Structure 1
Amino acid sequence: MSFWNIFSLLGGLAVFLYGMMEMNKNLTSLAGSRMKSLMLKLTKGPVRGYATGLGITMINQSSSATTVLEAALVGAGLMTFQQSLAVTLGAELGSTFLPQLVAFPSITKFSSLIVFAGFILMITVKNRKRRKAAKTLFTFGLLFLGMEMMSLSLKPLRTYEPFIHLMKSVENPFLGILLGLLFTMLIQSSGATTGITIAMAQAGAISIEQAVPINLGAAIGTCITAILGSLTLNWEAKRSAYIHVVFQVIGAFWVVILLLISFRGERLYIWWIKWFTLHVLGTDSLARQIAMGFTFMPLINHLILFPNLSLLLKGFERFFPAKESPGPFGPDYVNDSLIEQNVDLALVMAKKEIGRVIVYIQEMIDEMKSAFRSRDNSVLNKVSSLDSKVDILHKAIITFLARLSQVELSSAQSQQCLNYIYIQNELESIGDVIDKNIMSLAAKKMDRNLLFSEEGFHELEHLIYKVNRNFRTLSEALLSENRDLALSLTKSYEWREEEKYKEFHIERLHRGQAESLATSSVHLDMISYLSRINSHIAYIAGRLSSV
């Protein structure tokens, strides 16, 4: 094993991990916020929850990313702990999709061509979504290119005695699990660890007896990301991360038992994998055997766990009891019985529910300020969870008001009901602008480590301050029904400061100011989105001042 082989191995590992992480990022970006809404919609039953966890993890190529999102939703009260269990199990199986993919040696041969095709598409297509798809293809090629580089660099290990002795010791399941656990905790991806073992197998440097224990450890080690992601969340979110560890440890336990049982001169689990791969899949490929070994672990585990899930939960509750048992997030004040009881009371309750929406949007605005002042990307998840709450309340409020409008109302009641519908729609639009538009700009700023010019930063700070001030004024006017305050807000909007700040930024571009050039698209889009929020605020104020 020469220094050049080591350099090639490290370079291949870097290319492989970079390709995997960027492919994950681009696939997630293509799916956008639909993953969050999909998870909320499709987790009502265990089978649907399992399929959701499986499908989302196959898309984002990371069970850790799925369980972090799941923990955030549980922490926000948008998903119950019980609903999250099936999603977690589905994510565990979904994480085995990448190793199955990289076990195709024929794709590796075309890795350079895939990289070239992806690169050409990246520099030729203009549409943002198509560019994301091109980047996904490019990074997909990088993943396999890294695999090929690692495989070639590892071939000398086949005859390197110290390495051979080390791998012999790894055949002990417990040592192999420890090695896989530590390495995966370091790189935070079980799929990457399994991909590396497959690359070693393709180089002839490792056997299936050595790869399986390493991959068992990898399955447990990948839980570290979900645990770290839940540290800042509440106890329910932490429990959803902890049970992921429990599931993976139980899965490893069953496989270790099968590894300790001898059958026809081999370990039972190894014999089964070889038999299945040869007689069902029709191949004796070592890479495919390793991938199947990784896939069978969650499959066997889930066949045992699903019928005994209630029993497992009882044991889990003894060590990690629920400190609080919040139901699914929903409206506090509006329900259909109010419509039949008292129309005036129904309108009062609708206003109180809209008041809750206002509180959540104010939190989103506060987090929006934090997103542009710091590099902490946890704020993106916070805003996403808040927007989910706004969406849930929006649906409940609009449905309630639509039903209320169908009963016999006085002209004043009818006008008030219609006003609330318009106001709620505008509030929901503000939430969407912050979550879907402004937070994507914040993510771009963090990912690319962009720095605004000093003047530009102060201008954006002032616009954010203006949005915050205007929204607080609107909240006061709406909740206190102060027409004069609403009218003053409408008049103040007539002077549009946003256009002036766009002109200032373009002047800096003409001067060739480096920071302005680097942040131009983010800066101008940010001004436009803040202006849009102000226009929504002004519209609501206009409706309040006209009644």
Structure 2
Amino acid sequence: MLVLTQLLGAVALLIWGTHMVQTGLIRAWGGPLRKALGQSVKSRFTAFFTGMGITALIQSGTATTLMVAGFVGQGLITTAAALPIILGADVGSSLVAQFFSLKLVWLSPLLILIGVLLYRANRSQQSRQAGKATAGLGIMMLALQLIGSTMAPISHSDAIQVIFQSITGDTLLDILVAACLTFVAHSSLAIVLLVATLVGNEALSPLLGLALVLGANMGSSMSPLLSGVGSGSNGRQVAIANLVFKLCGIALVAPFIKHAGPWLTYLGDTPERQVLHFHVLFNVFTAAVFLFLNVPVANLCAKLCKSANESRQPHQTKYLDEAALESPELAIACAAREAMRMGDMIDEMLRDTESAICENDDAATRRVEDSEVVIDILYKSVKNYLMRVERDGLSTEDNQRWVDVLSLTINLEHIGDVIDKNLMDLARRKIHNQRVFSETGNVEIHDLHQRLISNLRLGLNLFMRPDVKNAQRLLDEKTQFNQLERRYAENHLQRLAEQRVQSIETSSLHLDVIRDLKRVNSHICSLAYPILENAGKLSSKQPQVVIKTKRYPKSAHIKGA
């Protein structure tokens, strides 16, 4: 019982060390790593080697897959361009296992010491996270030493041999067992190193070790897919493609496992090296087969995801990937994409609002009401998702991005409320009473709607790509919009003075509509203020628009009431 406890504790320590390295490096240099991934897609070979290098650094193919899936989900790169990165990530993960198999006993305590000193000596978040990653490397090497020392005395025990023989022997079963263990551990590296250590201590046969390595590879592709169930993101195509790669590779290799005995000597001098070299060769073989088939595989995955996306209800989130919460920067990007989806829905609501108000389209009012329900649900989902993001290790820039995403969703939700509770109430009253705006009044409201939609699109573009010039342009648009709102109100009063019947019948409705459109525009233009404030371009005194007003007879105001 004591030996089993020691073994399980060492395995847990290995998994925890892997987690420390992954989270430490991503939080310390997540921005540059994501930038390198995003810029690597110009060539499939560049993408392949970039994925291999970054995975070798952060020691997690799953983390690399999630980052790439985030890019695809945001529409920054295509699925076909992302797949060579995934193939490189698998090779990079297998190379990391080679490094950890080296018997560098002295390196483990040294790395732990350096990591602790870095973590404690500097308050900089980057230095602390780098120290965490360094200590994690040492802990991983220490865990492997503990596993080896624990298994060495009992590896030749008859009882141990009987146990392993009773639960294994069938190649498919071995693969499934290792896949489940890898999914639970969320680390194929940890499982492969564990298998190699057990094979090296003769607790497992080399052929069994090969089958378990195949299972670890399959489990590594299941983790990003199953942990992101329900996200509905286009990025799921990347996870599906990774699973397709592994399943096809396993289908091609697994039948030959039982006949590989005579060839094992070509893989290495010791059973442990044979297992690790097989791990590398399997991923290199898979990459060689699929590196030039990335486009057909991407098309296949798009078809597989299409039916799932079509069956998704509008109120269900598409981009809030639960697995991305492991990487706060990626989670913020997912929330930003969902917020942009809300912006697209507000765009549709504004177009339907124009139809409802100007054309008395009753069907448009119902579409707006349905969209508002979805907006409220998405707002709550994004807000709750952001609250679950761990912000302690985030940079100042990422923290500001978190605030910007939350601010955008709040403004969009307020816009939805103004449209539904105010403008749609006015539209329903106008339709019920069968009122019609004057031709000139309709043209003015149409003009305000078009400017509003244009400002919304400029604001959303500004949210995705902050730019001082465009932020100032949006603020200028606010001034122009306010000026137009006053001018059109003045024009309406002029029509009242001229005793136009349509203007008199719809006076209150007309003025309330342009007032509420102004409120919507204010929420949109608020996106410019943080950018201008950070750039020092926001004046404490905003210019006031002065409009000369005419005097109208009192009778005109009375009739327009």
TM-score of the alignment, normalized to the shorter chain, above 0.5: yes
Alignment-derived partner of residue 52 in structure 2 = 54
Alignment-derived partner of residue 197 in structure 1 = 195
Deviation at 1:546, TM superposition (A): 8.5
1:295 has 2:254 as partner: no
Q: Deviations over 1:156-209 (max 9, x none)?
A: 432333431343463532222121111111111111100111232343322321
Q: Deviations over 1:472-520 (max 9, x none)?
A: 999897274327979xxxxxxxxxxxxxxxxxxxxxxxxxxxxxxxxxx
> Does structure 2 retain, via aligned residues, the 8 Å contact 1:117–1:138?
yes
Rate the CA distance shift 1:80–1:314 in 2: closer, same or farther, 3 A.
Answer: closer
Q: How many residue pairs were aligned? A: 380
> Does structure 2 retain, via aligned residues, the 8 Å contact 1:108–1:147?
no
> Does structure 2 retain, via aligned residues, the 8 Å contact 1:68–1:225?
no
CA RMSD, 1 decimal:
4.3
CA distance in 2, matches of 1:466, 1:301: 43
Select which of 149, 153, 176 maps to 1:152.
149
Deviation at 1:297, TM superposition (A): 0.7
CA distance in 2, matches of 1:483, 1:441: 40
Deviation at 1:238, TM superposition (A): 2.0
CA distance in 2, matches of 1:446, 1:178: 36
Alignment-derived partner of residue 215 in structure 1 = 213
> Does structure 1 retain, via aligned residues, the 8 Å contact 2:26–2:327?
no
> Does structure 1 retain, via aligned residues, the 8 Å contact 2:210–2:257?
no
SS of the aligned residue for 1:204 comes to: coil
Moved more, 183-192 or 148-157: 148-157
Select which of 218, 232, 237 maps to 1:239.
237
Rate the CA distance shift 1:241–1:470 in 2: closer, same or farther, 3 A.
Answer: closer
Deviation at 1:108, TM superposition (A): 3.5
| Residue segments in structure 1 that go unaligned for 5+ positions in a row | 278-283, 326-366, 391-438, 448-460, 487-530
Rate the CA distance shift 1:479–1:244 in 2: closer, same or farther, 3 A.
Answer: farther
Which runs of structure 2 are paired with 1:524-543 in the superposition (5 Å)?
535-536=533-534, 539-540=537-538
CA distance in 1, matches of 2:17, 2:2: 22
Which runs of structure 2 are paired with 1:104-503 in the superposition (5 Å)?
104-105=102-103, 107-168=104-165, 170-234=168-232, 236-261=234-259, 266=261, 271=263, 273-277=264-268, 284-309=269-294, 319=304, 380-384=329-333, 443-445=390-392, 478=475, 480-482=477-479
Rate the CA distance shift 1:543–1:209 in 2: closer, same or farther, 3 A.
Answer: farther
Rate the CA distance shift 1:377–1:540 in 2: closer, same or farther, 3 A.
Answer: farther
Alignment-derived partner of residue 377 in structure 2 = none
The structure whose Rg is larger is 2
Q: Which amino acid aligns with 1:36?
A: R
CA distance in 2, matches of 1:323, 1:213: 33
CA distance in 2, matches of 1:135, 1:285: 33
Deviation at 1:72, TM superposition (A): 1.8
Q: Which amino acid aligns with 2:271?
A: L
CA distance in 2, matches of 1:110, 1:320: 46
1:87 has 2:85 as partner: yes
Q: Which amino acid aligns with 1:199?
A: T
Q: Which amino acid aligns with 1:201?
A: V
SS of the aligned residue for 1:77 comes to: coil
Q: Deviations over 1:197-238 (max 9, x none)?
A: 123234332232121111100101112221135434445322
Select which of 25, 28, 31 maps to 2:26.
28
Deviation at 1:299, TM superposition (A): 1.0
CA distance in 1, matches of 2:39, 2:337: 11
CA distance in 1, matches of 2:134, 2:15: 15
Select which of 63, 71, 83 maps to 1:73.
71
Rate the CA distance shift 1:50–1:469 in 2: closer, same or farther, 3 A.
Answer: closer
Moved more, 316-325 or 56-65: 316-325
Rate the CA distance shift 1:87–1:440 in 2: closer, same or farther, 3 A.
Answer: farther
Q: Which amino acid aligns with 2:277?
A: M
Rate the CA distance shift 1:177–1:469 in 2: closer, same or farther, 3 A.
Answer: closer
> Does structure 1 retain, via aligned residues, the 8 Å contact 2:59–2:96?
yes
Alignment-derived partner of residue 39 in structure 2 = 41
CA distance in 2, matches of 1:99, 1:228: 24
> Does structure 1 retain, via aligned residues, the 8 Å contact 2:70–2:330?
yes
> Does structure 2 retain, via aligned residues, the 8 Å contact 1:17–1:192?
yes
SS of the aligned residue for 1:32 comes to: helix
Q: Which amino acid aligns with 1:143?
A: M
Deviation at 1:246, TM superposition (A): 0.7
Deviation at 1:242, TM superposition (A): 1.0
Q: Deviations over 1:74-104 (max 9, x none)?
A: 1111111111221121111122133112211
SS of the aligned residue for 2:390 comes to: helix
Deviation at 1:261, TM superposition (A): 3.8
Q: Deviations over 1:140-168 (max 9, x none)?
A: 11111111112122224323334313434
Alignment-derived partner of residue 370 in structure 2 = none
Q: Which amino acid aligns with 1:43?
A: V
Q: Which amino acid aligns with 2:286?
A: N
Rate the CA distance shift 1:182–1:323 in 2: closer, same or farther, 3 A.
Answer: closer
Alignment-derived partner of residue 501 in structure 2 = none
CA distance in 2, matches of 1:286, 1:207: 8
CA distance in 1, matches of 2:389, 2:192: 33
Deviation at 1:40, TM superposition (A): 1.4
Alignment-derived partner of residue 431 in structure 1 = none
Select which of 1, 7, 10 maps to 2:8.
10
Q: Which amino acid aligns with 1:226?
A: P
Deviation at 1:9, TM superposition (A): 1.2
Q: Which amino acid aligns with 1:384?
A: A
> Does structure 1 retain, via aligned residues, the 8 Å contact 2:81–2:294?
no
CA distance in 1, matches of 2:210, 2:274: 9
CA distance in 1, matches of 2:537, 2:60: 42
Q: Deviations over 1:346-391 (max 9, x none)?
A: xxxxxxxxxxxxxxxxxxxxx9xxx9xxx9668753533577999x
> Does structure 1 retain, via aligned residues, the 8 Å contact 2:179–2:217?
yes
Deviation at 1:323, TM superposition (A): 8.7
CA distance in 1, matches of 2:123, 2:329: 27
Identity of aligned residues (%): 18
> Does structure 2 retain, via aligned residues, the 8 Å contact 1:72–1:230?
no
CA distance in 2, matches of 1:171, 1:109: 37
> Does structure 1 retain, via aligned residues, the 8 Å contact 2:73–2:235?
yes
Q: Deviations over 1:98-134 (max 9, x none)?
A: 31122112x2354234323432343334554333333
